[in-house]
Amino acid sequence: MSLLYGALVFKLYDVQVQNGEAYKAQAFSQHVLAGLLDPVRGNIYFTDRSGNSIPAAISKEYPTIYVNPKEVGDDKPRVVEILNALGVMEEDEIESILAKKNDLYESIVKRATDEQVSMVTESNIKAVDVDYKRSRLYPLATIASHILGFVSADENVGGAYGIESEYQDRLRGQTGVSSGDKVVSRAETGKDLDLTIDLNIQREAEKILGNLVEKYKAEQGLVIVQNPKTGAILTMAATPNFDPNTYNEFSISTFLNPNVESVYEPGSIFKMITMASALDAGKITPETTYNDTGSLVLNGKTIRNWDLKAHGVMTMTQVIEKSLNTGAAFAERALGPEDFYDYLVKFGLKDKTGIDLPGEVVGSLRPLEVDKRDVNFATASFGQGISVTPIGLLRAMSAIANHGVMMKPYLNAEKDPEEVGRIISEDASRKTVGMMVNAVNIAQIAKIQNYNVAGKTGTAQIPARGGYTDDVINTYVGFAPAYNP
């Protein structure tokens, strides 16, 4: 027993004292040789009208210049000279890195140029070398950045925001394992992903949006283009945007996609949902009339038209043409508060759309649930006091455009269209669309000769504590050809 104990003590002495450095080097070598094999991340593609795939996110191998501080030794003057020549660090930063004498790897340049690589290889300095690593590249820069998101430099995070996050498991693939010079299990390349985004429309939408935001000095602008028959998203844009190649240069708030991660009061656009609901219930027709006195008093509160005018006898079609608040309230009151609320739920305004993007939030009908006074339902009829998300409002309006049938919005082109259900009758849809066509024809601004366009504008006030600010949110929903978009 004592001999066995003595042999154990001697072995520990041999490992820890006499041959400590040799064993440490051997252990490091084994650590390097026995490790994980990172998979190649799958690519993301957009399409164009011709069906061509355009790379939107790809994995590319880049040269990384690094220094091994432990190997520097007497070569320090030459090491400092070459690191200075690379032009990416101040001398005090270089000294700080080289002071880590036990480190074996310190990255200096992550995406080195050909010139920088040549400088290192020609210097023939053992402590400074070039390694090749894969990194994410976004060839379109800021285009569709809120859709794509980015891949974080932190390997534990992987895809951050957007599609990169939503489809992280699919895109990343499976990690492999190596032992020594043998591959125990091979890394499985991530699967590519085709999106429904049409790059031609996306580019043009972002260009127009940017010009409008600049022209009107707006804080933010959003655009979504969808095929109402399938739910496929063809374009989704927001400003301000960011470049996922240099995401670390932007604030975190910029990464959030306001099309799915923000809510607002929709304003007059909501009149179309009110009219569609009342038409479907048979409570009104486009020709139903009421006497517009310019105001309506409910529960001691006065509702007025946006222009503060009385228009006399008006049809429901004229209500939409002139965007009269009192007319929307008339339609809501004809429907009744309970049925009106039920239709809003049916239009999906209490639920997430289920679009394949992370972070989706949902609007709120809570004011109608906690305070059931008539005035709250009347103001909700023209989009005030309740909130929606842009994607939620789009889904609801697309149901009107799609003959009353709601489709689930999606971005993954491999998905089959998914019907949510019939929301209103085809007849109610056709009549609502007709009212929207008349509104466009009267206003002229969106009219296209010999082409039916359905549309509705909305100007929503921005709520603040105890009331509303002077700022507004302008929204437009339109589709064409009106009866078969």
Question: Which domains, from first to last, does the chain contain?
Answer: 2-33 (no CATH), 37-196 (3.90.1310.10), 262-479 (3.40.710.10)
Closest alpha carbon to 386 in 345, 427, 428, 419: 345
Separation between Cα atoms, residue 224 and residue 399, nearest integer Å: 15
Buried b (16+ CB within 10 A) or exposed e, 297-335: ebeeeebebeeeeebeebbbbbbbbbbbbbbbbbbbbbb
* Backbone φ, ψ for residue 233 (5° rounding): -85, 120
Instruction: Please count the CA atoms within 13 angstroms of the CA of 42 that sit on its side-chain side.
Output: 21
Tens digit of pLDDT per residue, the chain (485 long)? 333 333 333 333 343 444 444 444 344 433 443 467 778 899 999 987 788 899 999 998 889 999 999 999 888 999 999 999 999 999 899 999 999 988 889 989 988 999 999 999 999 999 999 988 888 999 999 999 999 999 987 656 789 999 999 999 999 988 788 776 777 778 788 999 999 999 999 999 999 999 999 999 999 999 999 999 999 999 999 999 999 999 999 999 999 999 999 999 999 999 999 999 999 999 999 999 999 999 999 999 999 999 999 999 999 999 999 999 999 999 999 999 999 999 999 999 999 999 999 999 999 999 999 999 999 999 999 999 999 999 999 999 999 999 999 999 999 999 999 999 999 999 999 999 999 999 998 876 666 677 789 999 988 877 777 777 778 899 999 999 999 99
Do residues 331 and 283 lie in contact, with contact meaning Cβ atoms separated by under 8 Å? Answer: yes
Chain centre distance of CA 404: 27
Which tokens go with 50? Answer: 């011709």
Taking the CB of residue 13, how many other CB atoms lie within 10 A of it?
11
Residue type, 178: S
